[in-house]
Amino acid sequence: MFFNEEFETLPREAIEALQLKRLKTMVRRVLKNVPFYRESLGKAGIGADSVKTLQDLAKLPFTYKQDLRDSYPYRMFAAPMEEIVRIHASSGTTGKPTVVGYTKKDIDNWSELMARSFVAAGAHKGDIIHNSYGYGLFTGGLGAHYGAERLGASVIPMSGGNTKKQIMIMQDFGSTVLTCTPSYSLFMAEAAREEGIDFRDLKLRVGIFGAEPWSEEMRADIEQKLNISAVDIYGLSEIMGPGVAIECCEAKQGLHIWEDHFIPEIIDPETGELLGAGREGELVITTITKEGIPLIRYRTRDITSISYEPCICGRTHARIARMSGRSDDMLIIRGVNVFPSQIESILMGVEGVEPHYLLVVDRHETLDTLEVQVEVGEQMFSDEVKHLQALSLRIEKQIKEMLGVTCRVRLVEPKSITRSEGKAKRVIDKRNQA
């Protein structure tokens, strides 16, 4: 099933021809309207007619998050404010947020890409979409909302929080599709259990989860606890919001990135060198239809790989692998590189352990330390101390063997780790708090 079959199944040559045409127009647009790009492209010797083939993209300079911060709030916009109909901003934890603006056409395109994403995930007209992504400056809520309306589904604009009420609504309104962060879906499952509600009795069929990294093991846990099919959705506010890429329900093998609107590249984050298909590196995205804030070769910091292999679903758009994390979330513990998602994968494979964990990194004298706090189930927690000790030792050993990093595992009481209604906080790095 497709939302826009013609565009979702374009042959590769047609995708590339469209990309080139749109890229040329985009370069002209930013040269004309954005002083930042006039300067950065000018320095690289790029003029209005420099892009002749798609390979020429590699000659263009990168755009960094810092460039957006330096242009706060509106100086990267390529359209006059009279044409900007919506403003969103990223949830930066420090300093000023990154601000993005959308023209009517941008909102239109975003809605279509979200509608395509819903269909790819297995949703359709007639579905009741329970949207628990946060509404506000965050792009999750409104992005999914407009996509659901474009699809013609009934959307319940829940936003995050008030978990008990969410469950009641889901039950009474007969929600069939749930959209929220993967961590929040597990919180909901837990809250439902406490209320004596079994997800098996709900009408929920599909979950569309993203905005934070999650593992394949976490998917299995969610699918089992919520009795649904769960797919991964990717996006970032700088590029658009949710719906930049989505897994198809048919394969669940990588996320189709909508290549008629975005050109993805994978690079070595250290050297900037282009990496071929299948190699893991940083995802760089060029927007080719955005009017409000088009970005050239935007450094997402997200780590993935790309595949152009045909997919059983019939979509021809390339697939990016589930994000292993952000390069700036990668922990370096005594020289060993570790992504929180790798630890998550190991924890989720351990019987008796709950999907709620926190990594605490510290430094004692000159030595980095990693403490893995993870909840155990009620039953396990009331078990004998020696069993708990044996379990933590076993997990420590597995982490050491699989990731090469020594850590201390602390099994904590059920529900002692803060639950999230949006993006979960998985890491506290005390080394940077000196």
Tell me which residues touch ligand DLL (CB under 6 A).
Answer: 90-91, 133, 138-140, 210-213, 232-237, 241-242, 300, 302, 323, 326
Closer to ligand DLL by CB, 202 or 236: give it.
Answer: 236
Which of 156, 167, 149, 321 has its CA nearest to residue 232?
321
**Residue 329 CB, nearest approach to ligand DLL (Å):** 8
**Residue 151 CB, nearest approach to ligand DLL (Å):** 16
**Residue 73 CB, nearest approach to ligand DLL (Å):** 16
Closer to ligand DLL by CB, 211 or 399: give it.
Answer: 211
Rounded to 5°, angle at Cα 238 from 232 and 240: 55
What is each CA distance from 354 to 159, 183, 216, 303, in whole angstroms? 25, 12, 15, 26
**Residue 312 CB, nearest approach to ligand DLL (Å):** 21
Closer to ligand DLL by CB, 98 or 103: give it.
Answer: 98
Tokens (6 digits) for 63: 């755009």
d(CA 315, CA 300): 24
Closer to ligand DLL by CB, 233 or 343: give it.
Answer: 233
d(CA 182, CA 343): 16
Which of 409, 410, 398, 429 has its CA nearest to residue 331?
429
Residue whose token pair is 């040329």:
24
Classified as helix, coil or strand, 318 is coil
Tokens (6 digits) for 86: 């919506």
**Residue 234 CB, nearest approach to ligand DLL (Å):** 4
What is each CA distance from 229 to 77, 156, 186, 207, 225, in whole angstroms? 39, 20, 14, 6, 11
**Residue 363 CB, nearest approach to ligand DLL (Å):** 25
Closer to ligand DLL by CB, 340 or 376: give it.
Answer: 340
Q: Does an H or E element contain 179, and which?
A: strand 177-180
**Residue 24 CB, nearest approach to ligand DLL (Å):** 27
Closer to ligand DLL by CB, 27 or 102: give it.
Answer: 102
Closer to ligand DLL by CB, 29 or 326: give it.
Answer: 326
Strand partners, 279: none
**Residue 247 CB, nearest approach to ligand DLL (Å):** 9
Closer to ligand DLL by CB, 7 or 133: give it.
Answer: 133
d(CA 165, CA 46): 55
Closer to ligand DLL by CB, 141 or 375: give it.
Answer: 141
d(CA 100, CA 83): 13
d(CA 348, CA 342): 10
Asked whether 427 and 371 are in contact (CB, 8 A), the reply is no
Burial class from Cβ neighbours inside 10 Å (0-12, 13-18, 19+) for residue 9 reads middle
Closer to ligand DLL by CB, 88 or 225: give it.
Answer: 88
**Residue 208 CB, nearest approach to ligand DLL (Å):** 8
**Residue 224 CB, nearest approach to ligand DLL (Å):** 20
Asked whether 178 and 133 are in contact (CB, 8 A), the reply is no
Closer to ligand DLL by CB, 46 or 244: give it.
Answer: 244
- Closest residue by beta carbon to ligand DLL: 210
Tokens (6 digits) for 366: 């000159």
Residue whose token pair is 């597990």:
186
**Residue 168 CB, nearest approach to ligand DLL (Å):** 24
Q: What is the DSSP letter of 415?
A: T
Residue 120's CB is within 10 A of a number of other CB atoms, namely 29
The answer for 47, left when phi > 0, alpha when psi is -120 to 50, beta otherwise, is beta
